Amino acid sequence: MTDNIPLQPVRQKKRMDSKHRGGCCECLRCCGRRDPRPRTVWLGHPEKRDQRYPRNVINNQKYNFFTFLPGVLFNQFKYFFNLYFLLLACSQFVVEMRLGALYTYWVPLGFVLAVTVIREAAEEIRCYMRDKEVNSQIYSKLTARGTVKVKSSNIQVGDLIIVEKNQRVPADMIFLRTSEKNGSCFLRTDQLDGETDWKLRLPVTCTQRLPTASDLLQIRSYVYAEEPNIDIHNFVGTFTREDSDPPVNESLSIENTLWASTVIASGTVVGVVLYTGRELRSVMNTSNPRSKIGLFDLEVNCLTKILFGALVVVSLVMVALQHFAGRWYLQIIRFLLLFSNIIPISLRVNLDMGKIVYSWVIRRDSKIPGTVVRSSTIPEQLGRISYLLTDKTGTLTQNEMVFKRLHLGTVAYGLDSMDEVQSHIFSIYTQPQDPPAVKGLSLATKVRRTMSSRVHEAVKAIALCHNVTPVYESNGVTDQAEAERHYEDSCRVYQASSPDEVALVQWTESVGLTLVGRDQSSAQLRSPGGHILNFTILQIFPFTYESKRMGIIVRDESTGEITFYMKGADVVMAGIVQYNDWLEEECGNMAREGLRVLVVAKKSLTEEQYQDFEARYVQAKLSVHDRSLKVATVIESLEMEMELLCLTGVEDQLQTDVRPTLETLRNAGIKVWMLTGDKLETATCTAKNAHLVTRTQDIHIFRLVTNRGEAHLELNAFRRKHDCALVISGDSLEVCLKYYEYEFMELACQCPAVVCCRCAPTQKAQIVRLLQERTGKLTCAVGDGGNDVSMIQEADCGVGVEGKEGKQASLAADFSITQFKHLGRLLMVHGRNSYKRSAALSQFVIHRSLCISTMQAVFSSVFYFASVPLYQGFLIIGYSTIYTMFPVFSLVLDKDVKSEVAMLYPELYKDLLKGRPLSYKTFLIWVLISIYQGSIIMYGALLLFESEFVHIVAISFTSLILTELLMVALTIQTWHWLMIVAELLSLSCYIASLVFLHEFIDVYFIATLSFLWKVTVITLVSCLPLYVLKYLRRRFSPPSYSKLTS
């Protein structure tokens, strides 16, 4: 088969997993730390520790007090660019090499470094203040003296911490007690693993039975726990109470844990702290923050190396033309210093100050309020993104489920027709049932009756078939006990592991059938008339990812009827319900609308049928061998020929304007990948709903593969698909990357969209890293949770969305936004402008330096290759500072199109992905312009040579300043009032400073008519041809953006 992937030997990579990588870095951070070991933690006695534990602090800083200055200086001087200027400045201490005053070299270098250090210090202080805010959150701690308040950073291993409802868990803990009557609590874990489902957690049985929480300090007990590790889904430990007779031993699993970064969703809990600081599961799943260096900075660094090569060549040519006479090696060094302007020291400081301006403009943009720039070193990256990797929960979606559709086969009810459902339910419970003997009922009434009963059966099934518990809380007016007794609506909240189920139960309440009570054995519904309907729960078959369905058997207390209700995914329910001709088609229609579809069915059981089932079910549960298989077989005996009641459609509400934003990004040539910890079905639904996958595109769902052979077959099947979106689970992804990394990435990069579900935080970072390695393109990662931090820090550009569940992602990101829709403007407008402006600014600064270097070369050539500077002292410093700095720097305010046009035509962004604004071609054009203008000015001044040398300096320097100011005006595309001010200010500064420059310039000569006409001629000859060329180019070969603005 020609399209088969050849089975190749596995490529062994030297890639450390994140656990070892993190560990290594941490060892460097605090030398001498031993490998983590299992631990014994005594309840309420942190002093009884058997080893040292890290402090419970969150730290997103790149440096500490001692490493700041060495770290910043190292990051600066590892650039060839800055190292060159350091060596240059140091060389001036050698007398034979000195060309002028020391300050001409050390002042610019010191200024550049000062700006960098101040900027880095400001960012580190901001980062420290954000971390301090999180570390200073207050919690309650149980002690022998009672309850005391403690900061999150002061929590120690062994402390007994009280966590209230909706409060973040501050450290990894073992769950000891809860205030909930049912003896359990729910956790929101979307900030840890990305899953929207709430998790049920159970306290240690022994400690839950104690009369009060303070009794925890009266017992002698400890927890033995495994060493800290990266696995957030498993835990092994034991709980031991020594002072009971006999001693109590309980095994502990993941069900007894409260990991840090999760949020308590029900009740108040007490836990004992097991792990803190860098040993937290959430921290071990994140990579250490790194200093990001922008691609633009690397390109500029590359251009400076080319300029250095040119500098060496020019110096060698000058010495060669002297026939290497005398101490020629010293002459080479003097020429290297003389032409050092070829590499402009002001380039780095101009670009750094430009970045500060871009960051300020982003923060001030009223169209994206609340946007924060946390890393001001890489705004140009935003203009060249090729791959966007986004989280789902809380980033694309609001994690708020809304019931959208009820489909009964012959009729469907949407949001606009829910009042009809309400009237059907109302009629069932309020109108007296007509006896069968009454004749003359109209056909319409009978049809209405039939429809009402069908709607009623569907709503009742939805209200009963779930795992939702109504909980009553005091609201200030009514206390908890009274609210529970009277089923007070205003005090009731629903708790469940899945927000989908809560949405369904809230909908049944809105149409008249309210769930008011629920425990392990019974459920109570309230009818529209206020009557309480009691049901006994006989059996519950919980939802699993394998079965994709859940069932419940209930007995109606008023009639004694036993009913088996079931709901599940259409793929499994299609084979369970009675034959029908609409299920498949309608499920497809609803799925295409981005709704999560559940099929609801029922089966009435006689008492004999149920007793027979129960006997077989109990027998199966007692069996030792193949228990799960036997239990499943017994349940399946009931799951046959069930009556199809309805389809439900629930939508996870998207963030505002997600669809148009994703469409804008697609049109801009950016490929979007969705990486989520959520279920495959949920992820696929959201991808369709958000139009990440367009209606015309097919979706290839990658089968679950566990070994090399299966991965090979599935990759071959996928290779045959074209223009097809890929959906793959984290487990399958791991297998593919292990055996066929190159082949998989090659295929995935060709897809218009990729969805990775059930992704661990470290997997998200691994995908980002592979995309960077395989494609060489820039990546941007967007997320809102703690589970996205690794991905955000690994990407070339990390964007954090400030979510409801804290700010962990936004604190670790380079840019922080409040809504996903702001990303469009951040990239299309600010990213594009930052990149184009920096490209223009860098090339103009290089042009400014090359002009004066060309003039120096011409001057030295004419005067017998002497290594004598043309301009000395203040002239050389003033040229690149007060005389030309403001107009050149004002290019950071330039823009080619209005922001509205950039948003309307995202295709303009696509042009930037090729890197054309700063390329070898544009660089060469500017070099040629510089050589032309420098030569014209110098030869012009020499041709119009007066009797004294000082007149050459006056004419050439004045022409040079005027040429630079005119060239800035030529480069600008959209004038800003500050640009005009900068031009006039620079010209005024030069004219005013002539009074003080009598050492270099004859003040009387520059007031003559001769001086004025010579300067005018030279300036016109150097600039006019370029103005003509610009006009002709705009006329006959206009750039794409000019077509939109005309």
Element housing 936 (H / E): helix 920-943
Residues 378 and 827: their CA atoms lie apart, in Å, by: 12
**Among residues 539, 781, 824, 517, which one has the least CA distance to residue 655?**
824
Out of 172, 190, 197, 391, which one is annotated catalytic? 391
Residues 160 and 158: their CA atoms lie apart, in Å, by: 7
DSSP 220: -
Q: How distant is the alpha carbon of residue 52 from its chain centre?
A: 34
Q: What is the largest CA-CA distance in the chain?
A: 131
Output 983-987 pairs: Cβ under 8 A, ≥24 positions apart. 983/886, 983/887, 983/890, 985/886, 986/882, 986/883, 986/884, 986/885, 986/886, 986/887, 986/961, 987/961
767 with 758: CB under 8 angstroms? no
SS3 928: helix
791 with 783: CB under 8 angstroms? yes
Burial 732-746 (b: 16+ CB within 10 A, else e): bbbbbbebbbebbbe
- Which residue(s) pair with 783 in the sheet? 800
Q: Among all chains, which residue has been given the structure tokens 């595109």?
A: 697
Q: Which amino acid is at 791?
A: M
Token pair in block for residue 928: 């040629």
Q: Which amino acid is at 68?
A: F
SS3 46: helix
CA distances in angstroms from 457 to 330, 428, 452, 477, 523, listed in the order given = 99, 10, 9, 36, 16
Q: Is the peptide bond before 1039 cis (omega within 30 degrees of 0)?
A: no
**Among residues 81, 74, 815, 808, which one has the least CA distance to residue 377?**
815
Residues 422 and 407: their CA atoms lie apart, in Å, by: 15
**Among residues 295, 297, 284, 339, which one has the least CA distance to residue 317?**
339
Is 391 designated active site?
yes
Q: How distant is the alpha carbon of residue 628 from its chain centre?
A: 41
SS3 492: strand
Burial (Cβ within 10 Å: 0-12, 13-18, ≥19) of residue 711: buried
Token pair in block for residue 60: 């997103």
- Listed in sequence order, the DSSP H helices in 136-201 are none
Residue 540's region, left for phi above 0, alpha for psi from -120 to 50, else beta, is beta
SS3 896: coil
SS3 678: coil
Residues 6+ apart with CB under 8 A from 792: 781, 782, 783, 798, 799, 800, 809, 812, 813, 814
Question: What is the set of active-site residues?
Answer: 391
